[in-house]
Chains A and B, each alone.
Chain A
Amino acid sequence: MTKENQSEEKKPNSFQIFLEELQHSPRVVTILAILTGIVLGGVLAAVTSLDFYAAFAISPWEGILTGLEIAWNTYAALFTGSVGDIGRISDALAGGNEAEIRRAFFPFFESLVQTVPYLFGGLAVAVGFRSGLFNIGVEGQIFIGAITSVWAGYFFKGLSPIIHVPLTLFFGALGGALWGFIPGLLKAKTGAHEVINTIMMNYVAFRLSEFMLRGPIKDPTEFTPKSPWIEDSAKFFRFFGDPIRFHLGFFVALGIAFLMYWLLFKTTWGFELRTVGSNPRAARYAGMNNVAVTIIAMSLSGALAGMAGANEIMGVNFRLMPAFSSGYGFDSIALALLGKNHPFGVALSALLFGFLRNGARQMQLRAGIPIDIISILQAIILAFIAAPAIIRTIYRLKEPNYEEEGVKLTGWGGQ
């Protein structure tokens, strides 16, 4: 490429103009951040493998080859785990056995199932960021949403699904909204920073869910702390037979994402929310009600997170068990930033995270790589997204033409 550049330096052709434009684009940083994260993940998989060192003892070349092979196998397993085995899919399609086709497509749809809580969680964080609030309490709001929705799911009996499904989802949103409302109220009225309060609310939620599972919503017929199963009428419709768990929640989540887009960017209220987020003083001067916006935004954020919990109950687990959400809340922070806090961006990054997470399980089984490599990847990507300057330095990209969109948040001191 450098050769090409040198020879055609005098006459910029369309390709060079494209490259030039590309270098300024913030999208490139996003893509490079993901790619760099994936490369570093591969390096990690290689250097923590003993085969790598054994091969290195033979010759450095051999070592590098083995390292590449390990990284390749890791990501091949990730791909098979998240999308499916291409050979198996084509065989199954040719064979025509319906159960076998479903099994072959299972990984792909399972990734979509994994995407849903991420989408809700990412939207929750993004709405917070847009209004200048850092909702680090998505994890706790997910738990509360799950508690309230599971209660609504088994308590109301004999309802038609057309009523019961939205009702259960609504209860989940309500629970999450309450958990977001409290820090929002404290922030607006007393200035107590929402980060501290949402962290505290997280742990209160964990303890509360343990208590609820031990007592009030425990299934009396079970020995271990589990809630009763929710009614069939409260479950999300599943589109295919077993083992595919792909359910209506996916489309509900997409619908909500679109709704959020409309709300944030097409309504006056969304404009107010974004103004309060990007410049609270100007918002106050323009006569906007910062207190109300803060409280409503935080409650809305909590409600979205609560829907993530409700979705897991209604579409996947059908009951509440201890340790039911495993870090969706914290991953959501990374993916909201990855999606530039835009509902459509969040949807894309939720897909990415859903596929990564689902694929990682297969990776653990086939390539012996612990699933936690995904957290490492997420941390690295998050660091690069938050500090585009690092990526720009590594790849010698030019400065962007316009100011890169960042989140604007207050420090704890209130400045």
Chain B
Amino acid sequence: MAAINTNNQNQTDYRSKTRRFVIGGLFIAAAIVIFLFFARGSEAGAVTNFSMVPGGSPMTWDDWIFPTRNFLSVLSAFCLMVGAYQIARGFGNWTNAALSVVVGIFMFSFLSWAASGGSMNLGGLLRITIIRAVPLTLGAMSGILCERSGVINIAIEGMMLSAAFTSTVVASLTNLWLGMLAGILTGALMAWVHAVLSIKYKINQIISGTVINIFSTGMTSFLSQKFIQKVDYQYLNEPGMFAQLEFPLLSKIPVIGPILFHHNIYIFLMFILVAVLTVALFQTRWGLRLRAAGEHPKAADTLGINVNRTRYMAVILGGMMAGFAGTYFTLGSSGRFDEVMTAGRGFIGLAAMIFGNWHPVGALGAGLLFGFFDTLAVRASILNVPIPSEFLQMTPYIATMVVLAGVVGRSRAPAAEGVPYEKESL
């Protein structure tokens, strides 16, 4: 029932006239910016040279070279058409898809403009974008699991951090797989604490999340200063890393092969988990029950769903997901533990969850977008663009605030989120 409700609301959201006009206007604005700033902004005869081979890949093929101004003008015209259609007819349920296409084109135009007259390794940029999206997307999915069941989770950061720590120690002592398992279990443990505090003791879920965050930061820094940073215990901080895998055939596809199919296991698991979670949440009875607990717990209870047990399960699964994301930092990315190494990624994950409207596919899209900004910010120096890298890094946060405020396509939280469920006694 709750699901039907949400769908109805989403549909009415997209079909409302103002929203249609706002989004259509946004598309046209994008078209204008692309034309005036990016197309006209690059020099008349300049060409953009994109190298499509990520660094370190054994394969080679030609760079992608095109005249900047003409190509961007075409893209701008395309955006203009999309915008006109949106205003005239509206894309209905495909609005989000159209929005992401336009955002993608906008980003691409920006890059073309930035690279015009020089060359840029677009393949490498995209590949790193995907890598950087991993902790954000996984973190967002942890949030989705918890929050769809009605429990706010701002403790993603803390869960990831503590999982990163235990996975490092266990992996150093045993092997990578056990390390990963230890991380996942640590996430589950943290989530269990969160669940007990917020479901059993009914304390405010945001405060409970803050407790987990403060505790995790303190505990990991404490233990790491006390032990693994010391020379005598260095052996505890050498977990190693998961190797890069190549898909047998797919990685040989020109251009997208090395970008998509030559990664370590985390990247593949991320895509699999997005698919699994989408199906599980929206196509199975299990998912319907979970969402019912978050949308209308009273109705769910009437129909015989044990609301609190559902929430416990969802929060612990979410913790396992965050734990898995945490192990990525050590076993998939850096191969060692450093204090506060998650550096706010859990909160960007939270942002990605909101930006993606509490949907796994949306979270992946948001993760990719935010990962892209992350990548750009690091490489801002190689772009000949007068935008300070700090402002690129701010973009995910500001974008989330804009979406949350409902300026462009509103993001809607599960209705009963943050409210402890109490059975009414007669």
Contact = CB atoms under 8 A, between A and B. Distances in A.
A203 B344 contact: yes
Given A193-B404, A207-B391, A411 B205 contact: yes
B211 A379 contact: yes
Contact of B406 (A192, A390, A406): A192
Given A330-B210, A387-B197, A415-B415, A373 B205 contact: no
A376 interface: yes
A257 to B, nearest CB: 22
The main secondary structure of chain B at its interface with chain A is: helix
Contacts of A203: 344, 347-348, 394, 397
A195 interface: yes
A174 interface: no
A409 B397 CA distance: 23
B123 to A, nearest CB: 28
A383 B419 contact: no
A91 B405 CA distance: 63
Interface stretch (A208-216, A259-267, A287-295, A395-403): A208-216
Nearest to B398: A204
Given A372-B225, A376-B219, A200 B207 contact: no
A414 B215 contact: no
Interface in B365-417: 388, 390-391, 393-394, 397-398, 400-401, 404-406, 413-417
A141 B388 CA distance: 22
A49 B419 CA distance: 41
A204 to B, nearest CB: 5
B397 A201 contact: yes
A370 B225 contact: yes
B213 interface: yes
A386 interface: yes
Contact of B351 (A136, A190, A200, A379): A200
A199 B210 contact: no
A415 B416 contact: yes
A383 B211 contact: yes
B201 interface: yes
B417 A407 contact: no
A339 B390 CA distance: 37
B102 to A, nearest CB: 23
B210 A200 contact: no
Interface residues of B, number: 53
B418 interface: yes
Contacts of B416: 411, 413, 415
Contacts of A369: 226
A410 B215 contact: no
A410 B417 CA distance: 9
Contact of B214 (A134, A193, A330, A389): A330
B320 to A, nearest CB: 21
Contact of A373 (B218, B354, B391): B218
B405 A200 contact: no
A195 B206 contact: yes
Contacts of A317: none
B350 to A, nearest CB: 7
A196 B400 contact: yes
A207 B154 contact: no
Given A196-B350, A207-B393, A136 B206 contact: yes
Nearest to A191: B406
Nearest to B219: A376
A382 B388 contact: no
Nearest to A370: B225
A211 B391 contact: yes
B223 interface: yes
B338 interface: no
Given A196-B350, A211-B388, A372 B210 contact: no
B353 to A, nearest CB: 10
Contacts of A334: 210, 214
A379 B214 contact: yes
B238 interface: no
Given A199-B154, A387-B201, A412-B147, A192 B405 contact: yes
B208 interface: yes
A197 interface: yes
A382 B209 CA distance: 11
B213 A407 contact: no
B74 to A, nearest CB: 34
B221 interface: yes
A200 B218 contact: no
Contacts of A413: 150, 294, 413-419
B344 to A, nearest CB: 6
B222 A186 contact: no
B418 A410 contact: yes
Interface string B216-239: 011101110111000000000000
A338 to B, nearest CB: 12
Contacts of B348: 203
Contacts of B221: 370, 372, 375
B390 A372 contact: no
A59 interface: no
A277 B95 CA distance: 38
B152 interface: yes
Given A409-B206, A415-B416, A208 B201 contact: no
B175 interface: no
A209 to B, nearest CB: 9
A399 to B, nearest CB: 14
Contact of B397 (A200, A382, A407): A200
Contacts of B152: 411-412
A374 interface: yes
A299 interface: no
B204 interface: yes
A214 B391 CA distance: 13
14 contacts: A192-B406, A203-B348, A204-B394, A211-B390, A215-B388, A327-B217, A330-B213, A331-B214, A337-B207, A379-B215, A383-B208, A387-B203, A413-B414, A415-B415
Given A372-B218, A409-B206, 4 more contacts: A48-B222, A376-B222, A379-B214, A415-B415
Interface of B: 147, 150, 152, 154, 197, 201, 203-208, 210-215, 217-219, 221-223, 225-227, 294, 344, 347-348, 350-351, 354, 388, 390-391, 393-394, 397-398, 400-401, 404-406, 413-419
Instruction: In the A-B complex, list the 3 residue pairs whose CB atoms are closest, starting with the nearest.
Output: A411-B418, A375-B218, A379-B215
